[in-house]
Amino acid sequence: MKILIAASPFATLCARRTCEIAQQACASVRPDDSLTVRPVSDGRPNSDGLSGLHEVIGGVEVDPNEVDYSLCAEDLAGVARERAHIWRSDSSALIDCTGIVGYTGAGALSSDFLGAELAWAKREGLSEVIIVLPTLSDIDDLGRGMLSVLSGIRAPEDAADEGDFLVSAVAAAREKLGAMRLITLAADAQHLTGFSGVARAHMRYGLDPQVAQDLDARIGEYAESLTDAYEKSLGSSLFLSAHESPSPRGESAGAGGGLAFVIQCLGGALYSVGDLTVRSRLNTQIRESDLVVYISGAIEADLPSGLLAALDIADNEPPVVLVYDYGAIAKGELKQLGLSGAYELRPHLSFLDGTSPSDTDESAGQELEEVLRQRIATVGRTWGW
């Protein structure tokens, strides 16, 4: 029997450690099976503010002091240097933004740190940069800071000058980046505007409805200006995008507070995390397996994009079984979701507000590992033949 285990990180357990535990547990009950274990990522931040993508892509972590964060606003430069996580290989870099732009509800965070990091990648002669963005973000400048740093053009204080700034800044930024390939990875679907846009998403977390309505209107006007700037920049840029024109109503255009949309306007491609970690890397292994086991952290409103990709590829053959930390999945939903089975590790955490304080306790981490071993062994005994 061929078994594929795809393991993403938990809040306090990295993907590679999850892989080790799963492999040992499965082999203990099915020693004669062909077992393949691969780390994946759901793109959601762990307790260290990391998505875990570096465990999938690899590379050497870059010292934040190599990046010129003096280009950032003074109040953000220190934060960026402290929380920045960049990994690089000879020709590419992974910029994990989940820790610095995650959502706390505080707002008023500039995107200039990302401009500094892309400028660093350009100076290093890198040909490809992968940017990981969280779904929601405290960034509220819609990429103005990033564009200003890349273009060298100061963002205007007068809203009447916004259109001219965007046209000039987008063209100059695209020119500076040249042929560098930009890839943005979004953890979950998040439109920029409309009923499921950024403003509505923030309203669910306490933003006043009237403020949210006004914010959505401003975002819509800005997106229209940015789209116009994108179209005007095509003729002046060395790098012509081979992708469809960016749309503020694109499925993940609102990721990172709209950074995904702005990066698209710089010629970048936008994908879900699952497209990279599962669809492009595990397609063949899934199709050739007799059983797929997907290990995930907490299940929130949406299934992880990696799991969705696995379910789409498998198409009920082979069966896909989910092992997850906690979340609301009813037994009757399994068939509708395309899952053959689901095993919850710590259901009591579903009823707590926010992250359980015990998650940072060493004994709680050991308990999680033990429960994971037990569930994987149960899966092996239940689904083997």
Name the nearest CA neighbour of 62 among 123, 18, 150, 10: 123
pLDDT digits (tens, 9 = 90+) for 195-249: 889 989 888 888 888 988 988 998 999 999 999 888 887 754 444 444 567 888 8
* Backbone dihedral angles phi then psi of residue 373, each to the nearest 5 degrees: -55, -45
- What pLDDT sits at residue 138? 82
* Domains and their CATH numbers in the chain: 2-40+285-383 (3.40.50.10350), 53-275 (3.90.1510)
pLDDT at 240: 43
Query: How far from the centroid of its chain's Cα atoms is residue 295's Cα?
Result: 17
Separation CA 315–CA 330 (nearest Å): 20
| Model confidence pLDDT, tens digit, residues 314-360 | 998 999 999 999 987 877 788 888 899 999 999 888 766 555 444 55
197: burial class by Cβ within 10 Å (0-12, 13-18, 19+)?
buried
Give the percent of the chain with pLDDT over 70. 93
Provide the pLDDT for residue 158. 78
Give the CB-side neighbour count of residue 101, counting CA atoms within 13 A.
32
The per-residue pLDDT for 46 is 83
The ranges of the chain with pLDDT < 70 are 75, 105-107, 235-244, 351-364
pLDDT of residue 148: 95
Per-residue tokens: 143: 């990429």
Dist. CA 273–CA 249, nearest whole Å = 19
DSSP three-state, residue 21: helix
pLDDT at residue 362, rounded to an integer: 53
Q: Strand 85-88 relative to strand 60-61: parallel, antiparallel, unpaired?
A: antiparallel
8 Å CB contact between 221 and 234: no
E strand map for 123-268 = 128-133, 181-186
* pLDDT at residue 145 in the model: 92
The full DSSP string for 81-113 is: HHH-EEEE-SSEEEEE-TTTS---S---B-SHH
